[in-house]
Amino acid sequence: MTAETDAVVVIGASLGGMRTVSGLRRAGFEGAITLVGDEEHLPYDRPPLSKEVLRGEKEAEDTHFRSAEFFSEEAIDLRLGSPATALDPDTRTITLASGDEIPYGTAVIATGARPRKLPGSEALDAVHQMRTIEDAAAISSAFADAEHLVVIGAGFIGSEVASSGRARGLEVTIIEAATQPLALAVGTEIGARCAGLHSHYGADLRAGVGVAALEPDVAGGLSVKLSDGDEVSCDTAVVGIGVIPNIEWLEGSGIELDGAVVCDQYMKTSLPDVYALGDLADWYNPLVERRMRVEHWTNTVEQAAAVAKSIATGESVGYSGVPYFWSDQYGHRLQLVGTADADELVIIDDPADNPGVFALYRRGDRLAGAFGIDRAGPVMTMRGLLLKRAGFNDAREVAASIISG
């Protein structure tokens, strides 16, 4: 089988894949495009699942990026419900679980990541994970009949699920193995601020303790046994302990893997005419002069735009983005730009009458990152300074001016 030289196959029909195919058409690409997805749903946006959908403010179907008509109008061949199982660079084909083989001239790998499972939880109906539309529907249904929710893991997803549970009137206990929520992402001092949000809104955060066992109880609920000997009974539990890149299907393809798909600054892999982006891409970021893997929405969108432009124009477009995340919890927006890998944390704004905070991270004489709760303007200003590799003292002066003004 010989691939058409201008045929693009995008594997993964979530955010990264969707932005790539739409970006190709916007950039004037007229060749054949195929979008492959393992789920049977139309491509949809995941962030609302743990927030608006769980709070009952939005239906799962409202998260679809586009209607079915969009794909026919844009001449995008949508292959849903059958995951990719192999990539063959010699024949330039993508094999699906259905047995179909799709020829490619250029391939884009955007298969994302899946939640880590907590050992011993697989057979327990009361234990859920948050990733898909089905997950959100199952958790929302469980919320309707529950009184007590246990969330295992106080990362972004776990914290948002906990917040949504409190909004639905549930008693919430959060189990976090680290000493503070989000400590790896934002540092321990800011992690303590995030912990304060949970306690302020009535969630019981148990930090520095792990889960020893999960067992069904006689009432049809769940007994969560902790590593410190304590035990928490609940009606339902949600596990959010990180993700695993979906790269197993690429083994044997010859592509370079290192726990993720290794890419250069142009999001190109070690195979010719094969790109990767999103949660599974470990790319060289010239801005920080090292490889990094970022699991957040904005970086995936920007990587997809760069890849689409590279393919459509034939010119290599590099991506040197600033890591950025946001998380909506208890009616507050948490944001981090850059990284918390720093020599010093400097608090710029810390009002006593509300949970808002704004802080800068310093590494050497440079601005390394900025964090804010309900400080969107200052945070995004710092993102611009990070792109310019601003000095820390200059950034601090700008931040202080914004806050005081």
Q: Is 205 exposed, middle or buried (0-12, 13-18, 19+ CB in 10 A)?
A: buried
pLDDT for the residue 1: 37
pLDDT for the residue 278: 97
pLDDT for the residue 224: 96
- The token pair at 218 is 């006689």
Q: Is 167 helix (H, G, I), strand (E, B) or coil?
A: helix
Fold of 8-114+244-313: FAD/NAD(P)-binding domain (3.50.50)
Q: Is 367 helix (H, G, I), strand (E, B) or coil?
A: strand
Give, as one character, the DSSP assignment of residue 337: E
Residues 96 and 79: beta-carbon distance below 8 Å: yes
pLDDT for the residue 288: 86
Q: Is 197 helix (H, G, I), strand (E, B) or coil?
A: helix
**Distance (Å) of CA 270 to CA 6, 267, 276:** 20, 10, 10
Residues 271 and 254: beta-carbon distance below 8 Å: yes
pLDDT for the residue 5: 65
pLDDT for the residue 2: 40
Give, as one character, the DSSP assignment of residue 64: B
pLDDT for the residue 390: 94
In the chain, CATH 3.50.50.60 covers 8-114+244-313, 117-239
pLDDT for the residue 67: 94
In angstroms, rounded to a whole number, what is the distance separating the alpha carbons of residues 341 and 388? Answer: 18
Give, as one character, the DSSP assignment of residue 112: -
In the chain, CATH 3.30.390.30 covers 331-404
The whole model's pTM is what? 0.94
State the architecture of 331-404 in CATH terms: 2-Layer Sandwich (3.30)
Single-letter residue type at 292: M
pLDDT in tens, 56-107: 999 888 999 999 999 999 999 999 999 999 999 999 999 999 999 999 999 9
Fold of 117-239: FAD/NAD(P)-binding domain (3.50.50)
Q: How many Cβ atoms sit within 10 Å of the Cβ of residue 251?
A: 11
Low-confidence ranges of the chain (pLDDT < 70): 1-5
pLDDT for the residue 405: 73
pLDDT in tens, 276-293: 999 999 999 998 889 999
